[in-house]
Every structure is written in C-alpha cells, then in structure tokens.
C-alpha cells in the first residue's frame, strides 16, 4: 500500500514539473519587434525581427506572415543574429493587414512558445 501511495505522489510531482515547464515557456516576453504590434509600415520594408527576454533556438524557431488567416510567407530566422533575436527578410508585401506569427523553442529544452504581432502595410511609395 505504501509503495502505491509513493507512486501516486511521484506521478503528481512529475505532472506539476511538466506544467511548470510549459508555464515557463509561456512567460517568454517580446521586448521589441519590427514591425511593432499594430504598426503601419511601407511596402518596401522587408526586414522582420522579434527580440525576446532570453535566448531562443534559432534552428527550431519559425516566423510566418499571414493575411486573412492564410500563410503568405514562411521565414527562416538567420542563425547569425543575437541569441535572443529572430531576424529574417521577406519579399515586398502588398498593402493590407498582416500578422507576424512567431514560434520559438527555448534553449533550455523542448519548451515552445508562440505569439502574434498584427501589422499593416500601407500604400505609401
């Protein structure tokens, strides 16, 4: 009976550690981005970055640009950027509303965090 009770306690502790690990990934904070959230940019802008409050795994992270819920560009971050920055270039975007979606794996393991940055491309020339 005692060993069964310890097994249940052990499984509970493992479960709590897994939940805490996932919560830690969600505590990842965006410190800056280009474009900034809700920014209006010119169509000539082709540089995108997201800077976080801790290092991320560039090889297992991804940036996508969506319009009306459909991915229009998948960007692979450059490996040579700073440890806490995802940086990528994209082709010129046509005017309209977009979302820059980031999905990152933290350097501490398999924890993945993600988020969205809405922005608009203007008609300005």
Domain boundaries, the chain: 29-122
Q: Which residue has the higher pLDDT, 17 or 53?
A: 53
Contact yes or no for 75/61 (Cβ under 8 A): no
Enclosing H/E stretch for 115? strand 112-122
At 125, is the pLDDT very low, low, confident or very high (cuts 50, 70, 90)?
low
Structure tokens at 90: 């994209």
Q: What percent of the chain has pLDDT over 90?
A: 55
- Say yes or no to pLDDT of 99 above 90: yes
Give the DSSP per-residue string, 4-21: HHHHHHHHHHHHHHHHHH
Taking the CA of residue 90 as centre, how many other CA atoms within 13 Å lie in the half-sphere pointing to its CB? 26
- Per-residue model confidence (pLDDT) at position 10: 41
Domain 29-122 classified CATH 2.60.40.1220? yes
pTM metric for this prediction: 0.75
């Amino acid at each position: 009976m005692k060993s069964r009770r310890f097994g249940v306690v052990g499984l509970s502790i493992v479960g709590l550690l897994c939940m805490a690990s996932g919560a830690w990934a969600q505590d990842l904070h965006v410190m800056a981005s280009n474009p900034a959230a809700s920014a209006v940019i010119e169509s000539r802008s082709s540089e995108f970055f997201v800077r976080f409050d801790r290092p991320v795994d560039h090889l297992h992270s991804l940036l996508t640009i969506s319009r009306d819920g459909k991915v229009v560009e998948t960007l692979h971050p450059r490996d040579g950027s700073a440890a806490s920055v995802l940086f990528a270039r994209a082709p010129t975007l046509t005017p309209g509303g977009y979302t820059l979606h980031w999905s990152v794996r933290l350097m501490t393991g398999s924890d993945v965090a993600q988020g969205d940055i809405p922005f608009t491309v203007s008609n300005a020339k």
